[in-house]
Amino acid sequence: MFSLALGLFVFCVSAAEHHHVKAKTKRISLEVHKKLKLLNKRGVKTIKSEDGDIIDCVDIYKQPAFDHPALRNHKIQMRPSNHVQNDHNSSQLVSQIWQRSGSCPDGTIPIRRIRKQDLLRATSLENFGKKMPVHSSYSPTDDKGTVYINSTRVELGPQVNRSAAILLTTGYNYIGAQGDINIWTPRVESPDEFTTAQIWLKNGPGEAFESVESGWVVNPKVYGNGATRLFVYWTKDSYKSSGCFDLTCPGFVQTNKDIALGMVLGPVSSKMGPQYQTTFSITKEPSTGNWWVRIGQNVPVGYFPGELFYYLTRGAATLVEWGGEVFSSKVKQNHPHTATGMGSGDFASGKLGNACYVKQVRIIDYSKQLKYPEWVGTYSDEEYCYSALNYALSLAQEPVFYFGGPGRNPPYCP
C-alpha cells in the first residue's frame, strides 16, 4: 500500500514538473517570437547570402532606429554635409559576401536578419547584442585603466571582463578620428567571448562614459560563427543599459543601401602573406550633432544621432582610442586565462605581416583638418597576454600602431 502511494506521489510530482517545464518553454517561445517581430522589420526584398546569412531590404524610414523614443520625430540626414578629405590613398576595397547574391533597391537599407537561434544564444533577450557592462562599483585594488599621456594622468575607468591593447589621445575637442585597420580573423575560444579591432570616441565620466565605435569583430554569440564582421556600437552609460551592436536595438541610423552591418567582411590577412586593411572613420557634424561612420574610400554607412547622447552632443569627444579588446570573464588574474586572440593572435612585437596594425592614425578637431595627434600613449591591461607597440623605423617616419596577442600562453599568461 505504501509503495503504491509513493508511486502515485512520484507520478504527480513528475506530471507537475512536466507541466511547469512545458509552460516555461511556451513562455520563452512567445517572448522570442515577440522579440524577433520587433527586431526584424518587414523587407521589400530578401537576399540569401552564400555564407548562410539572410538580408532583408527594409524601407529606410522603417528601420529599427525609429523605435527609440528619442528618435520618434527624427529627420533622416541622408548624407553628411561635410566631406572628410583623406590625406592618403591606402584604403582598400571592403567587400561582403552577401553582395554577390544581390543588391537592395533605392530607398531601402540591408539589414541582417536575426533568427531564433541567435536569440537563444544570448544570456537573456534584454542582453542580446550588448557588450558586458563596465560595473560602477569596484574595489580600490581593481584596475582603473591608468595611463599617462605627456605627463597627464588619464583614468579609463574600471576594466572589468575585458582586456585591451590600445593607442589613445586625450583633449577637449575631437570631432572625428580615423585609421586604417588591418583585417584578421583571430580565434575566439568560447561562444560567450568576442574580440574586436576598432576606434572609440568617448566623453563623460569614466564610470558612465558615452562612446561611439566602429571596426571589425569576431563574436559567435551575436552572429553565430567565428567570421570577421563589420560593426558599429554605441553607449551612453558605459554599456550598462544602453546601446548595442549594429541594428540589434534602436539607435544607429543607416543610410547606405550597399553595406550591411554585422555581415562578413573581407578579404582577411594571413601570416607573412597578403595584408588587407580598410579605413574606419567616425566624424561629428556640429550643425546636427550626428556622428557619421564611414569606411573604405570615404563611404558613409550611417550615423549615431545626436539625440542619443548628452556629452557627445553638447561637446565633442575628449578621448580617442584605436586598437583591440577581448571581452571575457576569463581575464585579469583568472586562471586559466582565455585563449581568445586579439588582432591577428600574435603579439605587437611581430610587426608587419604578423601583428595586427592601425596605420594613418588621425584625429579631427575644430580646425576640421585630419592630423596625427599631438600626444599619444599606449595602454595594455595584460602585456603578457596582449601587447601594444607604437613603432616607427625612424623619427622621420610616422609610427604604426601594432597590437594583439594570443591570450593564454603559459608560463607568461597562464
Instruction: Write out the catalytic residue numbers.
Output: 213, 325
Residues in CB range of 349: below 8 A, 6 or more apart: 355, 387, 389, 402
Phi, psi angles (nearest 5°) of residue 206: -55, -30
- What the block records as the C-alpha cell of 95 is 567587400
d(CA 374, CA 170): 10
Q: Write down the residue that cell numbers 575566439 correspond to.
A: 188
DSSP summary character for residue 292: E
353: left (phi over 0), alpha (psi -120 to 50) or beta: left
For residue 340, which of 172, 185, 156 has the smallest C-alpha distance? Answer: 185
| Angle ∠(30,33,37) on CA atoms, nearest 5 | 140
For residue 378, which of 145, 212, 196, 204 has the smallest C-alpha distance? Answer: 145
How far is C-alpha 133 from the chain's CA centre? 13
d(CA 246, CA 248): 6
d(CA 49, CA 2): 63
For residue 236, which of 167, 168, 173, 304 has the smallest C-alpha distance? Answer: 304
